[in-house]
Structure 1
Amino acid sequence: MEKIQKYTQTACRLEISLLGKTIVTGNYLNGNVKMHLNQTCIPSDLHLLLKCTETVKLNTKSEVGIKNPESYKRLIDTIKHQYPAEPQIKEINEKKTIYSIVIPIISFFNEMSPGIYDFPFQILLTSSLPASFIYTSPSSYGAIKYTLHSIIFNNSDKITSKINLNVLSKITKTPYPIDIKSYPVNINSLFCKYKGMCNLKLEHTEEIYNLFKPAILKVIVENNTFFCMNLLTVALYYDIRLNIRKTMLSMQDQLVKCVEFPVKVQKLTTEECEISLDLPRIFAKFLNIYSLITDMIECKFYLKIEGVFTGRFLDKKIRPKIVSGIVIVPSEDVGRALPEQLSGILVESDNFINLQGNRIDSISIS
């Protein structure tokens, strides 16, 4: 039996001991509460409280390890704009209880004599431990702390003894199937008042719904101009809206430039181009953000197809661009997906782990 922690008060002392060091979700938590009564009293009841508290910190000063400093700067400027009275704000803390359950052990009806009493218990942990993760970025850190309280009430003076058992979740990356909904978006661009218009239309195969297989994008270029298109660029973008202190902040940026395709679409023609996308590679960088989607985060991702034209207008060489894209809207259940079977890794309690957009892997006794 692993002795965890002691808490002593005048009337009594409680000890919690657990069998084993690692708690795996979906399994039973077995232990014992030992009550040392130092004086005669009439307690009302003894119960356990298993509570999970999630804390997220967003450091708004440090820029170490930030891959996109420009978008990070925009985020900080937005925060300062929202809170002008706090120009020197260094970090944002969010804490909430995301899981709490009371387990009654015994109710007392008679006077208890001084002595030592044992109360064994068994708790079945849910296989889907919650995680909301208010916000994560290269500069944010989060911790999930589980506390196990043993509480006894005395009818006369309301003395309460409790024991805190700190449990922390190790955050690791786990692949899981992703379902996406795709909506075509066509954007017309009139880049020359007297030379006509051009447009990109996208068609995609069903493979785009499975991010672990390559997919084909069909790009139809309607070129009603006197320019030639000589390049197609495909990039993945994201748009995240997050709730910090009940204020919605927005951040947009390019995640990855996927591919560039040299093509040749002559003036005043309509041509179809096929683009083969290596989705597993493209979306690998984007899964970290995707896995964070919760009720508190609004998030959209989109593939942007950009066509670059070259030509001359009024004796000046110009490079007009047209854009089309596919908006990817996450399905409701995907953002809350959790790994199937979890393995335990010991970590110290109350330390913050760089989340980097990953899911709960295990909880371990510190």
Structure 2
Amino acid sequence: MGQETSKYNIQGGIHVHLDNFSTTFGEEVNGTIYIHLEKEIGPSTLLFEFKGKEISSWSESRSNYGSRRHKSKVVHYKETKNIFSFEKEIHRFEDRISIGNFSVPFTFKLPSSGPGSLNYNYYDTNGIIQYKIVAKLLGSAGENYKGWAKIDLSEPSVIPNKDESSSSEGRISSWCCVDKGNCKINVTHPESIFTRTSRPRFTIDVDATNSKIDITEVYAKLVGILSLKANDNRDLIAKDIVRETNTIRIPAGGVMNGIVIDLDLNKQDDSTRELFTSKGKLVECVFHVEIGTDLDGWFTCCGNNPNINYAVSVIPEKINMNKPPKPPNGWNPNIFEHIYLAYQ
């Protein structure tokens, strides 16, 4: 996500350069519109646009069991919704524009809130929330030059970003609900706002004093839940984004403190790398961390194994691109006055 822009074509064109490709709603975005013309055009208007949309699509296989001949069919769901569509005229060329180059620096104040960017593509399942800054040069004779740059936006977090401590106690039962005691865990967890390069560390205490079953493993995992909607239908996808375990045996009746587990978010697979916290109308994604234990033996059921869940936010990293694009040959632009815009 981010760092995607349109390209010049052989007749010239427009390139939109952003100093920061990833930021938060309510912040300012600085950039430059580069115009490169290799032929003269008529009187024209330069437009600035900020656009956002969400796309939700998936397929389901359905069977008809009521007929003599068993048949199945695939049903496709898809819906697209605009989030923002802001357009502003920023310059009018009253006369013909000669061959040449132009630079238009700008600052744009983003909307105060909106659903965060995300991009999930897995076979025919898609959940997309994307934003673009677009520049258009429209000539009186039908000329149409267009350039754009994608920008990743994150929602202002409402989850406190501080170290906290949580505890949980669960009753353990085996097959036929035979009582196997209980186990307690306590965890000190770090910040609640993650990026793709985060390595949150969890310190876990396990108290199996009243347990009749050994503890064989302590784990931590980040879970993402993606909700897709289309035409009054809904699809729900839950994924373990990354999971780490500490294989350490705690005998029944024992206690072990200070068990450390690091979650490396950089280990997640490609299908989830662009999933971020977002609450759109069609696409919504939330995350939580789960800390828990695995037990020795089969048929442990009917009980409530101790585990701790707490909500977190996953946001894009801020990306600053201070280096402008490589200019075309002979680049010597006319530089316009800096333009200030705000979403309305």
- Bucket of the pairwise TM-score, normalised by the shorter protein: 0.5 to 0.7
Shift of the 147–4 alpha-carbon distance from structure 1 to 2, 3 Å rule, reads farther
**Distance across 2 between alignment mates of 1:336 and 1:256:** 17
| C-alpha distance in 1 between matches for 2:299 and 2:55 | 47
**Any gaps of 5 or more consecutive residues in structure 1?**
7-15, 38-45, 62-75, 79-86, 109-114, 153-158, 172-177, 311-316, 347-366
Deviation at 1:165, TM superposition (A): 0.8
Q: Deviations over 1:167-201 (max 9, x none)?
A: 35499xxxxxx957767362523515563630232
> 1:229, 1:215 → 2: CA distance?
24
SS at 2:146's partner residue? coil
1:329 and 1:122 map into 2 onto residues whose CA distance is 43
Aligned to 1:262: 248
Pairs within 5 Å for 1:286-305? 288=272, 292-296=276-280, 297-305=284-292
2:170 is aligned with 1:188: yes
Q: Report the residue type matching 1:189 in the other structure.
A: R
Distance change >3 Å, CA 248–CA 49, structure 1 → 2? farther
| Residue of 31, 42, 56 corresponding to 1:36 | 42
Query: Residue type matched to 1:50 in 2?
Result: F
Query: What residue in structure 2 maps to residue 165 of structure 1?
Result: 146
Which residue of the partner structure matches residue 58 of structure 2?
A: 60
Q: For the residues of structure 1 that align with 2:238 and 2:268, how far apart are their CA atoms?
A: 15
Check 1:330–1:340 CA distance in 2 against 1; reply closer, same or farther (3 A cut): farther
Corresponding residue of 1:92: 78
Does the CA-based 8 Å contact 1:233-1:307 persist in structure 2? yes
Structure number with higher helix proportion: 1
- Aligned letter for 2:32? Y
Find the structure with the greater CA-based Rg.
1
The offset of 1:141, in angstroms, is: 7.7
> What CA distance in whole angstroms lies between the structure 2 residues aligned with 1:88 and 1:167?
36
TM-superposed CA distance for 1:136, in Å, is 1.2
CA positional deviation for 1:29: 1.9
> Is 2:18 aligned against 1:24?
yes
Q: Matches of 1:239 and 1:183 in 2, distance apart?
A: 22
Query: Which runs of structure 2 are paired with 1:312-331 in the superposition (5 Å)?
Result: 318-319=299-300, 323-331=305-313
SS across alignment from 1:338: coil
| Structure 2 stretches lacking a partner, 5+ long | 1-6, 20-29, 63-72, 153-159, 327-344
Deviations 1:313-361 (A, max 9, x none): xxxx754575333434235xx6365323366789xxxxxxxxxxxxxxx
Q: How does 1:286-365 map to 2 (within 5 A)?
A: 288=272, 292-296=276-280, 297-310=284-297, 318-319=299-300, 323-331=305-313, 335=315, 338-341=318-321
- Equivalent residue for 1:242, pick from 183, 202, 227: 227
Label 1:319 to 1:343 Cα distance change in 2 as closer, same or farther (>3 A): farther
Contact (CA 8 Å) 2:132, 2:148: kept in 1 or not?
yes
* 2:237 alignment counterpart: 251
**In 2 relative to 1, CA 308–342 (structure 1 residues): closer, same or farther, beyond 3 Å?**
farther
Match of 1:224 in 2: 210
Q: Which whole-Å CA distance do the structure 2 matches of 1:188 and 1:290 have between them?
A: 35
Change (3 A) 1:101 1:17: same
Q: Structure 2 CA distance, aligned partners of 1:151 and 1:206?
A: 52
Question: What displacement does 1:232 show?
Answer: 1.7
1:188 is paired with a residue whose SS is: strand
TM-score w.r.t. the length of structure 1 is 0.55
Distance in 1 between residues matched to 2:89 and 2:265, nearest whole Å = 47
d(CA) in 1 for partners of 2:235 and 2:165?
A: 24
How far residue 238 of structure 1 moved from its aligned partner, in angstroms, is: 1.4
**What is the RMSD of the two structures over their aligned residues, measured on CA atoms?**
4.9
1:265 and 1:105, CA in 2 relative to 1: closer, same or farther beyond 3 A? same
TM-superposed CA distance for 1:285, in Å, is 1.7
Q: TM-score, normalised by structure 2?
A: 0.58
- Provide the identity percentage: 6
Contact 2:279 2:285 in 1 (8 A): yes
- Given the alignment of the two structures, is residue 136 of structure 1 paired with residue 123 of structure 2, yes or no? no
Does the 8 A contact of 1:180 with 1:328 survive in 2?
no
Equivalent AA in structure 1 for residue 321 of structure 2: Q
1:37-85: CA deviation from partner (whole Å, max 9, x where unpaired): 7xxxxxxxx6422235456666635xxxxxxxxxxxxxx579xxxxxxx
For residues 204 and 30 of structure 1, do their structure 2 counterparts lie closer, same or farther at Cα, with a shift above 3 Å needed?
Answer: same
Contact 2:115-2:279 at 8 Å conserved across structures: no
Is this contact kept in 2: 1:239–1:250, CA < 8 A?
no
